[in-house]
Structure 1
Amino acid sequence: MFGFFGKYVDIVSPFTGKTIDLSEVPDEVFSQRMAGDGIAVIPTGNVAVAPADGDITLIFQGGHSFSIKTPDKLELTVHIGIDTLIMNGEGFEVLVQQGTKVTKGTPIVRFDPAAITDAGLSLISPVLLTDPDSVRSISAYSGIDAEAGKTDILKVRLK
């Protein structure tokens, strides 16, 4: 009975930078929300941190992306830049191992913004909720200046 209203979970920015709506991401997979719903950040720093407490469930080959599962079973994926998979790990340093339990703000990946832009790629970095079945609603705070590990960028209402 008490679960009727759902629980809210706040997600902080994994990057220091400016938030933008996913519809502004220059990649249809993200802008059309095919890979999940959420928000994107244009990083001004060089470290991606955990956006919530949880377990690192996946670090994608090369370190350009990682996934985390919160204690509430919310699944998040953080993608550093657009099309950065083609960099084959160049400019990315993974700081934790898959399976690591982390707290909000724990550094996960250090990256070289110049290497990304020098490769002709965008720094815009999507932060996605990848399990829509567990989510009732999402409020995304686009157009704000965010501090990595501190500024709320998403409020998620769980089912």
Structure 2
Amino acid sequence: MFGLFKKDYELFAPVSGAIMDLSLVPDAVFSEKMAGDGIAINSTGDTFVAPADGNLTVLFKTNHAFAMTLKNGAEILIHIGIDTVELNGEGFERLATEGTDVKAGTPIIKINRKLIEDKGFSLITPLLITNSDSVKEMTVTKQGLVEAGKDKVINYKVK
């Protein structure tokens, strides 16, 4: 009986830009939801922020992605760009420390957009719940343009 009214949780935009359906991401790992379910943002911003309160569990050595574990058990991945791991960290600046607790909107990574784009890399950024099997419902709450740390982009419930 008490499980009938599971709490809704939300994720905020980790970067400013335009919301995209995951199926449109030009990388099968994301478009076919092999790494999890969520959305992508065709980013226009240079600073990537935490989409929720939680622990910054992984900050990749190359700074092209970061993962968080939230108190409700959701595991979140923000992957900055497509194939940007190949840059080996060039154009990415770490602003936070792995293993720390952060609040939604906390800056995590800053990029040199011109350098990354001049090298031919897309900055489409997937925002995924990687353990999506633990999510009961997920709804995209915003379309069009979003602002990092301000616009709610996903509502979800955990099982």
Q: Is residue 84 of structure 1 aligned with residue 84 of structure 2?
A: yes
Q: Distance in 1 between matches of 2:88 and 2:142?
A: 30
Q: Distance in 2 between matches of 1:118 and 1:2?
A: 54
Q: Point out where structure 1 has 5 or more consecutive residues left out of the alignment.
A: none
* 2:15 match: 15
Aligned residues: CA RMSD: 1.1
Matches within 5 A, 1:1-159: 1-141=1-141, 143-159=143-159
Tell me if the contact between 1:81 and 1:116 (Cα under 8 Å) persists in the aligned partners: no
Tell me if the contact between 2:80 and 2:126 (Cα under 8 Å) persists in the aligned partners: yes
Tell me if the contact between 1:39 and 1:142 (Cα under 8 Å) persists in the aligned partners: no
SS of match in other structure, 2:61? coil
Tell me if the contact between 2:142 and 2:152 (Cα under 8 Å) persists in the aligned partners: no
Give the alignment's TM-score, normalised by structure 2.
Answer: 0.96
SS of match in other structure, 2:15? coil
SS of match in other structure, 2:86? helix
| Alignment deviations for residues 51-110 of structure 1 (CA, whole Å, 9 cap, x no partner) | 000000001121000001111111100000000000000000011111111000000000
Give the alignment's TM-score, normalised by structure 1.
Answer: 0.96
Question: 110-119 vs 99-108, which deviates more?
Answer: 110-119
| Percent identity of paired positions between Structure 1 and Structure 2 | 46
Task: Work out the number of aligned pairs and report it.
Answer: 159
How far is 1:43 from its partner?
1.2
How far is 1:133 from its partner?
2.7
Question: 2-11 vs 15-24, which deviates more?
Answer: 2-11
Q: Distance in 1 between matches of 2:130 and 2:10?
A: 16
Which one-letter code corresponds to 2:153 in the other structure? I
Tell me if the contact between 1:20 and 1:142 (Cα under 8 Å) persists in the aligned partners: no
SS of match in other structure, 1:4? helix
Q: Distance in 1 between matches of 2:152 and 2:79?
A: 18
Tell me if the contact between 1:19 and 1:141 (Cα under 8 Å) persists in the aligned partners: no
Q: Distance in 2 between matches of 1:5 and 1:36?
A: 25
Q: Point out where structure 2 has 5 or more consecutive residues left out of the alignment.
A: none
